[in-house]
Structure 1
Amino acid sequence: MCNSCVMLFDDRERSILPEFTALPKLKSGEILVKNKYATLCGSDLHTFTGRRKEPSPIVLGHEIVGEIIEMASNEPFYDLNGNILKLGDIVTWTIFAAPNEDEFVKDKMPQKSASLFKYGHVKFTKEEKFNGGLGTHCVLKKGTGILKVPSSINEKFAPIINCAGATAMAAFRLIDKIENKNVLILGAGVLGLIASSIAEQKKAASVTVFDIDKDRLEKSKSFGAKYIYNALSPIEELENIMSQFYKKGFDVIIDMSGSVDAIKTGLKYSAIGTQHIWIGAVTPTEDIAVNPEMMIRKLLSIKGMHNYNFEDFVNAVSFFEEHFSAYPFQTFIEKEFELKETKEAFEYAVKYKPFRVLINI
Structure 2
Amino acid sequence: MWHLRGNTTLTPEPYIQSPSHPASQCLSGLGGDLKNTPQNPVTMSTNSPPVTPTPPTSPMSPSTPTPPPTPQHGTTSYAKSIVFMGKGRSPNFVTESTRLPIQLSPGQVLVRVELATICGSDLHTLNGTRTSVHPCVLGHEGSGVVVDSRREGVEAGQRVTWGVCASCDNCLSCSLALGNKCMKLHKCGHTLVTTAPLFGTYSTHTLCLAGTPIVPLPPALTPTLAAPLNCSLATMVHAMAKIPTLPRPGHPGATVALVQGAGMLGVYGCALLREAGFGRVYCSDPNRTRLAKVSDFGGIAVHPEQEDDLIAPDSVDVAFEVCGSKEVMSRGVRALRPGGTYILVGLVHPDSRMDVTAQTIILKCLTITGVHNYTGEHLHSAVNFLARHHHRYPFKSLVGPTYPLSDFRNALEVARSGKFFRVAVNPQL
CA shift at 1:341, angstroms? 1.1
* Aligned twin of 2:243: 175
Deviation at 1:85, TM superposition (A): 2.1
After superposing the two structures, state which structure 1 stretch, 25-34 or 285-294, moved more.
285-294
Structure 2 counterpart of 1:103: 172
Unaligned runs of 5+ in 2: 1-45, 47-75
Which structure exhibits the higher relative contact order, with contacts defined as CA atoms closer than 8 Å and separated by 6 or more residues?
Answer: 1
Aligned residues: 343
- The aligned residue for residue 228 of structure 1 is 301
Task: Give the Cα–Cα distance (whole angstroms) in 2 for the partners of residues 190 and 266 of structure 1.
Answer: 19
Q: Mapping of 1:1-361 within 5 angstroms?
A: 3-11=78-86, 12-24=89-101, 25-72=103-150, 77=152, 84-125=153-194, 128-177=196-245, 180-225=254-299, 227-231=300-304, 233=305, 237-243=306-312, 248-361=314-427
Residues of 2 paired with 1:352 and 1:209: CA distance?
18
Amino acid of the structure 1 residue aligned with 2:236: A
The C-alpha deviation readout for 1:283-306, integer Å capped at 9, x for no partner, is 111422432332222121101111
8 Å contact 1:98–1:143 — kept in the other structure? yes
CA offset at residue 353 of structure 1? 4.8
Q: Could you report, residue by residue, the CA deviation over 1:314-351 in whole angstroms, capped at 9, with x for unpaired residues?
A: 11111111111110100111121001111221122113
1:23 to 1:265, Cα distance in 2 relative to 1, 3 A: same
Q: Write the distance in 2 (CA, Å) between the matches of 1:239 and 1:348.
A: 34
Give the letter aligned to residue 4 of structure 1: A
Corresponding residue for residue 52 of structure 2: none
Q: Which amino acid aligns with 2:192?
A: K
Q: Does structure 2 retain, via aligned residues, the 8 Å contact 1:16–1:342?
A: no
Contact 1:16 1:343 in 2 (8 A): no
Partners of 1:149 and 1:155 within 8 A in 2 = no
One-letter code of the match for 2:96? E
Q: Is the 8 A contact 1:5 1:20 kept in 2?
A: yes
CA distance in 2, matches of 1:286, 1:18: 34
Q: How many angstroms apart in 1 are the aligned matches of 2:109 and 2:301?
A: 44
Normalization by structure 1: what TM-score? 0.90
Shift, 1:248, TM fit: 4.5
Which secondary structure state, in structure 2, belongs to the residue aligned with residue 138 of structure 1? Answer: strand
Write the letter of the residue equivalent to 1:228. A
Q: In structure 2, what is the Cα distance between the partners aligned to 1:242 and 1:57?
A: 46
Amino acid at match of 1:131: F
> 2: distance between equivalents of 1:120 and 1:138?
10
Which has a greater percent of helix? Answer: 1
C-alpha change, 1:89 and 1:212, in structure 2 (3 Å) is same
**C-alpha contact 1:65 1:155 (8 A) present in aligned 2:** yes
Runs of 4 or more off by more than 4 Å in structure 1? none
Determine if contact 1:48/1:346 at 8 Å carries over to the other structure: no
Structure 1 position 21, deviation (Å): 2.2
Quick one: distance in 1 between partners of 2:382 and 2:116? 18
Q: Distance in 1 between matches of 2:141 and 2:228?
A: 6
Counterpart of 1:172, as a letter, is M
Maintained 8 Å contact 2:83/2:135? yes
Residue pair 1:36, 1:65 contacting (<8 A) in 2 also: yes
Alpha-carbon separation, structure 2, partners of 1:263 and 1:290: 7
**1:249 to partner: Cα distance:** 2.1
**2: CA distance between counterparts of 1:60 and 1:273?**
41
- Cα offsets for 1:114-144 (capped at 9, x unmatched): 110111101223x632110011111111111
Deviations 1:57-114 (Å, cap 9, x if unpaired)? Answer: 2210001211111123xxx61xxxxxx3211000001101111212211211111111
The more displaced of 289-298 and 334-343 is 289-298
- Helix, strand or coil for the counterpart of 2:99? coil
Instruction: Calculate the TM-score normalised by the size of structure 2.
Output: 0.76
- Cα–Cα, structure 1 residues 337 and 108, in superposed 2: closer, same or farther, change >3 Å? same
Shift of 1:46: 0.5
Contact 2:165-2:375 at 8 Å conserved across structures: no
Q: Deviations over 1:153-211 (max 9, x none)?
A: 22222121111010011111000135741100000000000000000000112000000
